[in-house]
Amino acid sequence: MAPKEALEKTYPAIGGAGSPIPSDRINIDEPRWDQTTYSGRAKHFFTITNPLNLLKGSQELEEARRIVLDYKKGNAPAGVSSVDALWNAKHVYDSAFHPDTGEKMFILGRMSAQVPCNMFITGMMMTFYKTTPAVVLWQWVNQSFNAIVNYTNRSGSKPIDNKTLGTAYVAATTGATATALGLNALAKKAPPLVGRFVPFAAVAAANCINIPVIRQRELVDGIEVTDKAGNKIGESKSAAKSAITKVALSRICMAVPGMVLPPILMDQLERKTTFFKRYPWAPAPLQIAVCGLCLIFATPLCCALFPQRASMKVGQLEPELQKLAASRGMDEVYYNKGL
């Protein structure tokens, strides 16, 4: 166990600050904020995607793990006396450990790595978008990173097999590269600004390929739908289609600010100044910085667009599930949309 001084450094709310932990158990298996509201979901994802979580050392992560597991067992974690401290530990734990298996996740696959990794990759894609070798290289790097994220965050109960991951990786890389090269060829006759949006089109196309392919089992077998209390009704392919559509849309929206605003800015700067002609290396760091600023906000805000526990009307389900739900007097069912 870490000494009290170390705990206070890791979790500032420890040692009397903040509300004391109530005698009634806090359900730390659910997010801290109301997930039926957009603001509650946004607060949750700001904590999950916070890049500062990457700076947590092994000792801090293990201490957070101990606190969370102790509390889940019904014990009072040593050295933790406030609600804020408990939730701080939970957020650190969630940032590094798989929710199903409890194993520490590979650092590049964690949600907290999304902003720093994507800002670098996106900035490079938008800087080097004109030549074929550069397009192939950075689309490959982007889809390789996506494959790492998908593998790291794979389900513990229904894991994605390596064949499915490989198929999604190859399909998304091929689709993104073909889209980028094809649009680059068309954009040669268009104004220069049009060509700058080609990387965004390629990323959008890759998301529309990658997510359905990697979740193809859900489209074939369906995903679990429940009543409001969480009781299982059955497996629905319609719910799977809805879930995958929402995830793809949120991923595309996530890319919009960082891949639309920088091209407009760079086009204006290159036309009105001579700075980039004198310093040809300058666009890369500037675009990376602007992308990072956009992604810090776009990542959590777009993850929060749809509730994690989504709902759909009974009338949208398969006929057999409609009958079953109607027999229970239900007009709505719920499902986990995934990320």
CA 253/CA 319 separation, integer angstroms: 33
Question: What is the predicted pLDDT for the residue at 157?
Answer: 59
Partners of residue 236 on adjacent β-strands: 223
For the purposes of burial, counting CB atoms within 10 Å of the CB of 164, is it exposed (0-12), middle (13-18) or buried (19 or more)?
A: middle
219 and 301 in a single domain? The answer is yes
Q: Is the backbone of residue 97 left (phi > 0), alpha (psi -120 to 50) or beta?
A: beta
The answer to the question of residue 1 being in a domain is no
Cα 293 from Cα 143, distance rounded (Å): 22
Q: Does 238 share its domain with 297?
A: yes
Examine the domain organization and report whether 330 and 211 are in the same domain.
yes
Same domain, residue pair 298 and 157: yes
Print the domain residue range for 133: 112-336
Q: What is residue 218's predicted lDDT score, i.e. its pLDDT?
A: 84
Phi first, then psi: give them for residue 294, nearest 5 degrees. Answer: -65, -45
Q: Is residue 8 part of a domain?
A: no
Amino acid at 227: D
Rounded to whole angstroms, the Cα distance separating 86 from 66 reads 11
DSSP result, 78-112: TT--BHHHHHHHHHHHHHHB-TTT-PBPPGGGSGG
Q: In angstroms, what is the C-alpha Rg of the chain?
A: 23
- Do 168 and 207 sit in the same domain of this protein? yes
For residues 131 and 156, membership in a common domain is answered with yes
Per-residue pLDDT of the chain (339 residues; tens, 9 = 90+): 443 444 444 444 333 345 666 656 788 888 899 988 999 999 999 998 999 999 999 999 999 999 999 888 887 777 677 888 889 999 999 989 987 788 899 999 998 999 999 999 999 988 888 888 998 999 899 988 988 887 887 766 567 778 888 888 888 889 888 988 998 888 888 888 888 888 888 988 888 888 888 888 888 888 888 888 888 888 889 999 999 999 899 999 999 998 898 888 888 888 888 887 788 788 889 989 999 999 999 999 999 999 888 888 988 888 889 888 888 888 888 888 877
User: pLDDT at position 9, please?
Assistant: 46
Q: Does residue 86 share a domain with residue 179?
A: no
Nearby residues of 212 by Cβ (< 8 Å), 6 or more positions away: 219, 244, 248
How many domains are there within the chain?
A: 2
Last residue of a domain, one of 51, 69, 104: 104
247 alpha-carbon distance from chain centroid: 9
Number of H helices, E strands in the chain: 14, 4
Residue positions counted in the chain: 339
- 10, part of any domain: no
What's the pLDDT score for residue 223?
A: 86
Q: Which of 52, 73, 104 is the last residue of a domain?
A: 104
* Sheet with 223-226: strands ordered across: 232-236, 223-226, 332-336, 309-313
Q: What angle (nearest 5°) sits at the alpha carbon of residue 60, between those of residues 296 and 145?
A: 40
